[in-house]
Structure 1
Amino acid sequence: MAATDSIVYHGNCHCGRYRFQVSTAEITSAISCSCSLCVKKGYLWLIPGEGAFTVLRDEGYLVEYQTSTLKDKFCSYCGSGVEGEHLTGPLRGKFLINIRTLREPYVNPFKLESAITVIEAEGDTRSIEPVSQQPDEPAAKSLFICHCGDVRAILLSPIEGEELKEDNCSKCVRIAYIGIYPTKDNVRIHGRDRVFEYLTGGKFTGSTYCKTCGVHVFSNIYGPPISVFDKLPPERKERALAVYHKNMAMQPLNVRAIEGVKIDTFQPLIKREDEGTEGYELDS
């Protein structure tokens, strides 16, 4: 495609505190990397041409986290991973943009899956201290952990019994979120004081991110005020409250944070909603 046929894509972290544009041929494929951080964040990379990338707004919230394989930049307000530079392998020294952050025109990552080139990581090393288990605590079935190890969730029940969900709404698409929703009594969380939280809309759910590495491990559910059900007819109120209490008992976890996860093994079990980012608007 000639340079004159390039498309100008506008992108941003979810909150819009960092915005950019990139001029490139129509995006019909993507690159993914097998390194542990790229897997936990579900990155889909684009390599822009020289001079094709321009920052439009930078309010100073982008922070860097470096691993043995990747310099990663994410928004410390909303958690969106935006840019990267690999330190090893075929992508070494390349400036990369996370395709998931492109908003206008929107690039649906679900449509790119058949055209993803997987790059195998080289020299991916990290040291994680084990989580101590209480003597009376059941054995962990799955360990959900951020990249640096500061934030962890232990699932005490089999993941095979959980429903896996993925959608491409404006927030979830940016963090490549694949959720499961066990009850709180089946989850133990370590490092609640080491996350920052991002709430949107009605602020009924807060997505949390490790302050150091930016990986999303768990969410907090707050729900609407219970008083919103008071005006409902008795029969509707009873059903609505049953759903409310069920939701409030949940502890959402991000499947991508499972240590050593192979997403391909879960793919057939994931229920998807392909509704896109309709209704998502940024403040000017």
Structure 2
Amino acid sequence: MEPEPTSSYDGNCHCGRYRFEVSLSARISSSFACSCTLCAKKGYLWLAIPEGALKVTRDDGCLTEYQSAAARDKFCGHCGTGVVGEHLDGPLRGHLLVNIRALQGVNPFSLEASDAIEAVAGQDTRLFEPLTAPSDPPAQHLLSCHCGNVKAELLAPLSSLQAKEDNCSSCVRNAFVGVYPNKDQVRLHGKEHTSEYQYGRKYIGLVHCKACGVNVYNTVYGPPLSVFDSVPPERKERVMAAYRKNLALQPLNVRTIENLDLESVKVEKSDEGTEGYVLGP
């Protein structure tokens, strides 16, 4: 007789259009971090679950399915959160996989730091040709979604930028490891293939490829100018300078840099959690 589940987790994409429950016989203490290009670009932390352990509690028909040579996954087409998947090769082949990053009450930082297990599936290898004319300033790094529809060129060396990662409600779900060059240090390509998601105060837009769901870059909007009306005159010039500096940034996802070993990058992590995140009705 099967043992009764002792742990239950609620999961959801960020916008809440897809929600589910996972019932397990033990608490989650480890995960599988696959090195195939799809899982690496999305930062998936997989949990293999037994048959019948997943119960969908809400499905607004928002999931998009994408398949690489190594894996098949489903992500929310509205907010971009990856939720479930399946490997087509390797030790996880045939298992139903849940993205731990989409589960409430699980801090992926602790799993990544101690119990991450690498499960290497078949590789998808592609090399993208230069995107600009020889007369243009050369790119130091090329970033791309998995399917190649959305790309970015970073003109500054990655070593000159500070890479940062936090576990807020959105970044924890899309595994965003950010660098923040100025817009004039970046060239974006394929905007017509993207979908943008905003939430809360809508100071930032989370951008993902419509086809494969990979988050290559984000868009900074900042607060409306009216919020500065109450700033005292003696502080306003300094505050507005900081505001303009922030608007000039172009956030990029380090995970999507082609041929980059993320382990070689020093990433400043901010473990502040998802306080303030409220899932709507």
TM tier, smaller: over 0.9
Q: Is the 8 A contact 1:146 1:217 kept in 2?
A: yes
State the Cα distance separating 1:127 from its structure 2 match.
Answer: 4.3
The residue identity in structure 1 corresponding to 2:276 is G
- What is the alpha-carbon distance in structure 1 between the residues aligned to residue 247 and residue 35 of structure 2? 35
* Counterpart check, 1:169 vs 2:168: yes
Other-structure match for 1:182: 181
Other-structure match for 1:40: 41
State the Cα distance separating 1:12 from its structure 2 match.
Answer: 0.5
- What is the alpha-carbon distance in structure 2 between the residues aligned to residue 212 and residue 95 of structure 1? 22
Equivalences for residues 104-123 of structure 1 within 5 A: 106-113=105-112, 114-122=114-122
Other-structure match for 1:92: 93
The residue identity in structure 2 corresponding to 1:75 is C
* Counterpart check, 1:276 vs 2:277: no
The residue identity in structure 1 corresponding to 2:71 is L
Q: Deviations over 1:77-133 (max 9, x none)?
A: 000000000111111111100000001xx11011112111101222x2354542432
Q: Is the 8 A contact 1:205 1:221 kept in 2?
A: yes
Q: Is the 8 A contact 1:128 1:148 kept in 2?
A: no
Equivalences for residues 198-277 of structure 1 within 5 A: 198-266=197-265, 269-277=266-274
Equivalences for residues 2-81 of structure 1 within 5 A: 3-4=3-4, 6-24=6-24, 25-81=26-82
State the Cα distance separating 1:270 from its structure 2 match.
Answer: 1.4
Other-structure match for 1:158: 157
Other-structure match for 1:145: 144
Cα distance, 1:129–1:143 mapped onto 2, change above 3 Å? closer
Query: Structure 2: which 5+ runs fail to align?
Result: none
State the Cα distance separating 1:219 from its structure 2 match.
Answer: 0.7
Q: Is the 8 A contact 1:128 1:149 kept in 2?
A: no
- What is the alpha-carbon distance in structure 2 between the residues aligned to residue 101 and residue 143 of structure 1? 28
SS at match of 2:196: strand
SS at match of 2:277: coil
SS at match of 2:215: coil
Q: Deviations over 1:11-50 (max 9, x none)?
A: 0000010000011110011011110000000000111112
- What is the alpha-carbon distance in structure 1 between the residues aligned to residue 37 and residue 172 of structure 2? 19
Please give the root-mean-square deviation of Cα atoms over the aligned residues, in Å. Answer: 1.3
- What is the alpha-carbon distance in structure 2 between the residues aligned to residue 212 and residue 64 of structure 1? 8
State the Cα distance separating 1:136 from its structure 2 match.
Answer: 2.4
- What is the alpha-carbon distance in structure 2 between the residues aligned to residue 126 and residue 160 of structure 1? 24
State the Cα distance separating 1:260 from its structure 2 match.
Answer: 1.8
State the Cα distance separating 1:5 from its structure 2 match.
Answer: 5.5
State the Cα distance separating 1:228 from its structure 2 match.
Answer: 2.1
The residue identity in structure 1 corresponding to 2:202 is K
The residue identity in structure 2 corresponding to 1:57 is R
Q: Is the 8 A contact 2:36 2:124 kept in 1?
A: no
- What is the alpha-carbon distance in structure 2 between the residues aligned to residue 168 and residue 130 of structure 1? 34
Aligned residues: 278
- What is the alpha-carbon distance in structure 2 between the residues aligned to residue 81 and residue 71 of structure 1? 11
Other-structure match for 1:197: 196
- What is the alpha-carbon distance in structure 1 between the residues aligned to residue 154 and residue 223 of structure 2? 26
- What is the alpha-carbon distance in structure 2 between the residues aligned to residue 202 and residue 41 of structure 1? 25
Q: Deviations over 1:46-67 (max 9, x none)?
A: 1111211111100000010000
The residue identity in structure 2 corresponding to 1:6 is T
- What is the alpha-carbon distance in structure 2 between the residues aligned to residue 250 and residue 222 of structure 1? 10
SS at match of 1:279: coil
Q: Once the two structures are aligned, what percentage of the paired residues are identical?
A: 53
Q: Is the 8 A contact 1:14 1:174 kept in 2?
A: yes
SS at match of 1:96: strand
- What is the alpha-carbon distance in structure 1 between the residues aligned to residue 256 and residue 208 of structure 2? 11
